Amino acid sequence: MHLQVSSVCKSFGYGPKAKPVLDAVSFDLHSGQFLALVGSSGSGKSTMMRLIAGLDRPSSGEIRLDGELIRGPGADRGMVFQKYSLYPWLTAAQNVAFGMRLQGRPKAEVRERTAYFLEVVGLVDSARLLPRELSGGMQQRVAIARSLAAEPKVLLLDEPFGALDLQIRESMQDFLHRLWMQTGLTALLITHDLEEALLLAQQVHILAPRPGRIVRSVNADLDRSSLAHLRVSQPFLALREELASCLRSLDSPLTA
């Protein structure tokens, strides 16, 4: 799997009123990699995600998946939204099965894979509950399981834990890290939380706002055997502080 984003620009509106949102963004993502795009609001990171998902078209530049130009949404790019996007009339298990049923997979296979992915996200006991009966963290785990079950080549995570409490966020970060180790998935994470990005991603791109563009890329080669230790380890804190000051300098005094 190779996701190629080359000189992607995007503006909204036409003529003199056109507002540039993304300016010549380029990066690559390979199989098994965990990549994060970090930026404040206005950095166009959600727009970038929508372009990769095929929900919007770039104004110029191109996005290719395994050499093929992306022209629209498809099951090869699974997406997890920030806000609860579970189908409220379906149980947790039915939500997980939803994508596979859309794809028309055989019933037995759907049942088997649903059970497997509920197990992976630790929600076997909640299989029959409706989304409103699940906590925010559980809902996001169902959403992730639903995406994974549809077998995407890359998982797009758009601020997946942005709406959760701090404590639940941390446990969800641990969960996502374990999931990545376990399943070898390829993931692109969008977040404004630098710590989250450094904890999870091997490579982090920093986006500057108005218009969004990559100003800094770092390889975060850190020892991730224990996220709890990593959170307080010296190399992690040093890297975080360095990038945080970079992010701060990007926000002009007017908007800070």
Q: What's the min distance (Å) between Cβ of 21 and other proteins?
A: 18
Q: What's the min distance (Å) between Cβ of 124 and other proteins?
A: 21
Q: Which lies closer to other proteins via its Cβ, residue 75 or residue 237?
A: 75
Q: Which lies closer to other proteins via its Cβ, residue 85 or residue 183?
A: 85
The reply to whether 150 sits near other proteins by the rule CB under 8 A is yes
Stretch that binds other proteins, among 37-45, 85-93, 173-181, 207-215 (CB under 8 A): 85-93
Q: What is the total residue count of the chain?
A: 256
Q: What's the min distance (Å) between Cβ of 226 and other proteins?
A: 33
Out of 22, 29, 36, 53, the only residue in the binding site for other proteins (CB under 8 A) is 53
- Provide the 10 A C-beta neighbour count for residue 108: 8
Question: Chain centroid to CA 41: how far?
Answer: 16
Stretch that binds other proteins, among 70-78, 197-205, 227-235, 248-256 (CB under 8 A): 70-78
Binding site for other proteins (CB under 8 A): 53-55, 72-75, 77-79, 81, 83-85, 87-89, 98-99, 101-103, 130, 132, 143, 146-147, 150, 152, 156
